[in-house]
Structure 1
Amino acid sequence: MRFQVLGSIAANDNLGGPVVLRGPRYREVLARLILARRRVVPVGRLVEDLWDEPPANAVGAIRTFVAGLRRALEPDRPPRTPPRLLVTEGLGYALRAEPDAVDAWRFDDAVRAASTLPAGQAFSLLTEALRWWQGPAYADFADAGWAQAERARLAEQRLLAVERRAEAQLTLGAAAAAVPDLDAHVTEHPWREDAWGLLATALYRSGRQADALAVLARARRMLADDLGIDPGPALRRLEHDLLRQAEHLDPIATDPSVRVWEQARAAYDSTVPPGTGTRLESTAGLMRDLAVTGGGGLAAARAHRISAVVAADQLGDAELTARVIGIYDVPAIWTRSDDPAQAGRLVDIAEKTLLRLPVHDDADRARLLATIAVESRGGLPPDQPTEAGLRPLRAARQAEEIARRLHDPALLAFALNGVFMQSFQRAGMALRRDAVGSEIVAVAATSSSATYEVLGHLILIQTRCALADYPGADQHADAVDALARRYQLPLVEVFTTWYRALRTSATTDLDTAEAAYQAAAVSLVGAGMPGLERGLLPLAELSLYLRHHDTGRIAAIAPDTDWGPYKPWIEPTLLVARGDLDAARTALRNIASPPRDLLFEALWAIVAHAAIAVGDVETMHRARTQLSPAAAETTAQSGLLSVGPVRTYLDDIESAMRRRGTPGS
């Protein structure tokens, strides 16, 4: 569930569809709970905030609004089961939205992260974050007293983001591109002296010294006429430096790469008309390169990529759409999508384009099929296969077959990425993925594709961990780090840092291992990979506590810990550690199978641990059935964390069943 407060109040479901929120009072209750940032808002406070003169039935009305919101936000919740999103605590209510579920919360995180990132990543991250604004914050409730302080704070944050984005542009040498936005910014917010200084600097670096001085004169007049003050020291120093053409004002004027980029961009803009297929293909190609720069670059690449694909699809040219989709052959290693709704839309367009593509166009067909396989990561059915669930698997195999027939190494590497993403039909397939990773490394070497060579080594780190071959994994980690340094691929460090935390955890004490994971978690900040980041650190820490049999630390885990998508399979073990065995049994009853991905074995092992503790024979049977194919492997399939050898959990299940005298044990 996603919530929007940067503009009108809105909610969207996990597929990106709008949630109907009925009348304004329902939206106001939702907005007030969002503002509380997951904290409890007492009913009395809600009454005070919603009405100047509360009616006699105000408390009953609040309950009605909350009940309506619960039906809208959790439409599939079974009757008489407690809500998990809009919860009752004590005498109030809290919206337990995920940390990245509210656009304003994500915006705060983006502005904070951008201050620590290199200029290129900061620019991309802030550009994407500013697009989330659809109007003034909490626009529906501009006159509400409860919203005023937060509206003012967010408005200030937005102005700060605009100025920090401009600073990044100047650092990157894109001064001319920064001028129009800064000019509009100071016109709308003339009291912001930092913005005037940025505009003057941008003009100066664009070769417009006279205009830069005129801007400062304009600022001086505005401050004197409207506020009765003189410019501050920073603006006065800047004016002095502009007059003497101080060298520090244009530190990158002699950088040839900046001049070449600006000249090429200007030539492209003047030569290639807007709204053409060529522009869409160029955009997709640029986004492919941007995606591997990390941080905001990856997030921006995802957003612009889907925009280009949708635009191509709307033109009705299947071959153009296929090229725009297929050019984005960015390697993918993590099996959970960063944006499932966007990935689903992309797959839908790719499948539709396949039906309209000429039958002879094998290369584009293979790229569409590989895209479907990669973007459908984690989409294999958890239990019984279905027609829809098997389509990505078949797409991966078809893409591989076409690529081999065409003898196209680059296309084969892309297709094999799809094969990897769909290689989780069951547990215990590390050797199969090891073969895929080895072939990707070999194929990438023949096609000089550094990014796919990196992908192959990352897959081999995972498979070597699954097979408990840590020296082998070390070799691949060293190889991939060398490639990342050589080709400036910063996202690679996220995976190797986490692998080395796993490696540390295998040979050190619990406290040292925990510190290694906490240090590794820093690498995820601003990396632009929410599908990897959410819930990963607490899951890694839990894996340590289980391996060290430290029930006390498990019981002490904070109740409001964000487990991300892993909570259903973690909760029974937490309840066991806290001594609430009945609740653990309830949580295990009919528990769904974890997604078939890199954490499949680890999550089933955690479920097995809880089932053994409470004597849940049915769940033990299920866990044994799912884990048995991986009996010779470890739960370190991800290359990031491990709860130990699979055999340990299978043996524990067998022992528990023998103690209970279970038939067939």
Structure 2
Amino acid sequence: MPTTATTARPGAAELGQQERAVLHGVGCGLRDDEIAAALAVSEDVVAGHLARILGKLGLRDRAAAIVHAFDCGLVSPGHGPRTPGPDQLPRGADGRTAGPRVRISVLGPLRAWHDGRAVDLGHLRQQAVLAALALHRGRTVSRQELLDGVWGSEPPVTNVVPVHVYRLRKTLRLADCPVPVIEHDRYGYRLATGATEVDLARMEELVAAAGTAHRAGDLPEAVRLCSRALDLFGGEPLAGLPGPLAELERLRLVERRIAVAQRRAELRLQLGQCARAVTELITLSAEQPLNEPVAAMLMGALYRGGRQADALAVFDRTRRRLAEDLGVPPGPVLRRTRRLILHGA
């Protein structure tokens, strides 16, 4: 008797992750070259996976594999994939892979744009849930992590996390794509790969590229890339969001911005751009009056620009603020910088 779609046979669960992704692509009607492009592998690898899939599942040919992908629930008729393969991206009307459709900013007050239009993210706890997913973009965040990060020691009495995720999904939903922007599995929630872009990830890419340019000796390019990274900051990170996670990340991201600004100033000094470095460091020092490394760098830049008295004035001003606000004397870095300036080193 011929094998039918209802005959018992091993399901997709018997397959490895990449084999499932290949079966998913076959079920969606993709060619081998399209599946290979989506998975970043060669067509030979796709063909090998397909041969193993047919063997493991006892399927006759590609047509039988398509039927099986629907039968086992990997693909839904008329609705595209239920679970996208790795790195699957939304496609435009021309069939080509489209770029991220939802942009999320955490380097300032939390904001999101859907196809370039700003969207209302709801009340603060709901925003904090989205921020937690954006800060952990690329990995699954468990419900307990969200509860701990957003509510801390005062968790809600009801299971509100799925409610917030449901509302965020509706707000950020891509009308022409059945895949949700926020995915869910038994481990928790995550932002869909390819559908979202987070400014934090872009900032780190630019900083890494600046480091590469610096090591290659291209200091102007390193300065340009640092400036682009700093331009992504739009005020206090995660301003106003509640919860322990937002509080800790605010501090971390502020420190990250200071570090990038210091790096840019150092690069400008190496390029002989003392005046621009001084201007940027004065602004940074005004924002961070108790930051001794920033004060020390400003003193050094002023001294290199022939402004010894101004450099020593920075020391005196910082010393007073440390005494008044923290009750501590200047640290070794600041004292050493002052000593070198006094000795003309």
Normalising by structure 2, we get a TM-score of 0.61
Q: Give the 3-state SS of the residue equivalent to 2:157 in structure 1.
A: coil
Quote the residue 1:5 is aligned against: 106
Are 1:183 and 2:183 counterparts? Answer: no
State the match for 2:118 in structure 1: 18
CA distance in 1, matches of 2:322, 2:230: 28
1:39-72: CA deviation from partner (whole Å, max 9, x where unpaired): 222234434544424233x2xx433332332233
2:311 corresponds in structure 1 to 212
Please say if 1:54 is aligned against 2:153: no
Q: CA deviation at 1:108?
A: 2.8
Aligned to 1:136: 236
Local SS of the residue matching 2:175:
coil
Give the counterpart of 2:170 among 62, 71, 74.
71
Counterparts of 1:237 and 1:62 in 2: how far apart (Å)? Answer: 52
Partner of 2:65: none
Q: Is there any run of 5+ residues in structure 1 with no aligned partner, and where?
A: 247-665
The CA deviation at 1:156 is 0.9
User: Which residue of the partner structure matches residue 117 of structure 1?
Assistant: 213
Q: Does residue 1:236 correspond to 2:332, yes or no?
A: no
SS of match in other structure, 2:166: helix
- 1:98 Cα deviation (Å)? 4.5
Note if contact 2:203-2:229 (Cα within 8 Å) is conserved in structure 1: yes
Offset of residue 229 of structure 1? 4.0
- Name the CA shift for 1:39/1:181 in 2 (closer, same or farther; >3 Å): same
Is the Cα–Cα contact under 8 Å of residues 103 and 114 in structure 2 kept in the other structure? yes
**Paired letter, 1:19:** V
Matches within 5 A, 1:160-175: 160-175=259-274
Q: Which amino acid aligns with 1:3?
A: I
Distance between the aligned counterparts of 2:196 and 2:252, measured in 1? 19
User: Counterpart in 2 of 1:149?
Assistant: 248
Contact 2:149–2:246 at 8 Å: present in 1 too? no
- Shift in CA distance, 8/235, structure 1 to aligned 2, threshold 3 Å: closer
Contact 2:110/2:239 (<8 A) preserved: yes
Matched, 1:126 2:226: yes
Counterpart of 1:29, as a letter, is: V
Residue 118 of structure 2: SS of its match in structure 1?
coil
Pair 1:193–1:117, CA change in 2 (3 A): farther
Q: Report which structure shows greater RCO (CA 8 Å, sep ≥6).
A: 2
Contact 2:128-2:243 at 8 Å conserved across structures: no
Q: Take 2:129 and 2:326, find their aligned partners in 1: how far apart are those partners?
A: 39
Could you tell me how far apart the structure 2 residues matched to 1:145 and 1:120 are? 39
In the superposition, relative to structure 1, how do residues 190 and 17 fare at CA in structure 2: closer, same or farther (>3 Å)? same
CA–CA distance in structure 2, aligned partners of residues 99 and 234 of structure 1:
46
> Are 1:223 and 2:319 matched, yes or no?
no
**Contact 2:148 2:244 (C-alpha < 8 Å) held by counterparts:** no
From the superposition, tell whether residues 23 and 193 of structure 1 become closer, same or farther in structure 2 (CA, over 3 Å).
Answer: closer
Distance, in Å, in 2 between the alignment partners of 1:68 and 1:47 is: 17
Asked whether the equivalents of residues 33 and 95 of structure 1 are also in contact (C-alpha less than 8 Å), the reply is: yes
d(CA) in 2 for partners of 1:82 and 1:192? 46
Structure 1 position 20, deviation (Å): 3.6
1:82 positional shift: 4.3
The residue aligned with 2:135 is 35
In structure 2, relative to structure 1, the CA distance for the partners of 1:95 and 1:218 (3 Å cut) is same
Is the CA contact (8 Å cut-off) linking 2:182 and 2:192 kept in structure 1? Answer: yes
Q: How does 1:191-590 map to 2 (within 5 A)?
A: 191-246=290-345
Letter in 2 for 1:36: H
CA distance in 2, matches of 1:3, 1:170: 34
Map Cα deviations across residues 442-493 of structure 1 (whole Å, 9 max, x no partner). xxxxxxxxxxxxxxxxxxxxxxxxxxxxxxxxxxxxxxxxxxxxxxxxxxxx
Contact 2:275–2:305 (Cα < 8 Å) also in 1: yes
Structure 2, unaligned runs of 5 or more: 1-101
- The one-letter code of the counterpart of 1:125 is L
1:94 offset after TM fit, Å?
0.9
Q: SS in structure 2 opposite 1:195?
A: helix
Distance in 1, matches of 2:171 and 2:196, equals: 20
C-alpha deviation, 1:238, in angstroms: 2.6
Deviation at 1:19, TM superposition (A): 3.0
State how far apart, in whole Å, the 2-side matches of 1:44 and 1:200 are: 47
Q: Write the distance in 2 (CA, Å) between the matches of 1:173 and 1:245.
A: 19
Instruction: Report what 1:103 is aligned to.
Output: 199
Aligned-pair identity (%): 39
Q: Alpha carbons of 1:215 and 1:192: their partners in 2 closer, same or farther (altered >3 Å)?
A: same
Kindly tell me the number of residue pairs found equivalent between the two proteins: 238
- How far did 1:139 drift? 1.2
Return the alpha-carbon distance in structure 1 between the equivalents of residues 121 and 231 of structure 2. 23
Secondary structure in 1 aligned to 2:261?
Answer: helix
- AA matched with 2:232: W
Q: Following TM superposition, by how much is the alpha carbon of 1:198 offset from its aligned partner in structure 2, in angstroms? A: 1.5
Shift in alpha-carbon separation, 1:23–1:75, aligned structure 2, 3 A: farther
- 1:211 is displaced (CA, Å) by 1.3
Of 185, 190, 201, which residue of structure 2 is paired with 1:89?
Answer: 185
Cα distance in 2 for partners of 1:126, 1:232 equals 28
Q: Which residue of 1 aligns with 2:99?
A: none
Letter in 2 for 1:4: S
**3-state SS, counterpart of residue 88 of structure 1:** strand
Distance verdict in 2 for CA 1:99–1:183, change over 3 Å = farther
Q: CA offset at residue 166 of structure 1?
A: 1.4
Structure (1 or 2) with the greater strand fraction: 2
Deviation at 1:178? 2.4
Provide Cα deviations, 1:95-136, integer angstroms capped at 9, x if missing partner: 134598211222233334434433322221121211211221
Q: 1:73 and 1:235 mapped to 2: Cα distance?
A: 49
112 and 193 in structure 1: CA distance in 2 versus 1, 3 angstrom threshold: farther
Residue type of the partner of 1:150?
E
Tell me how far apart the structure 1 counterparts of residues 161 and 334 of structure 2 sit (CA, whole Å): 52
Measure, in 1, the Cα distance between the counterparts of 2:319 and 2:149.
Answer: 42
Q: In the alignment, residue 110 of structure 2 is paired with which amino acid?
A: I
Compared with structure 1, are the counterparts of its residues 46 and 214 closer, same or farther at alpha carbon in structure 2 (3 Å cutoff)? closer
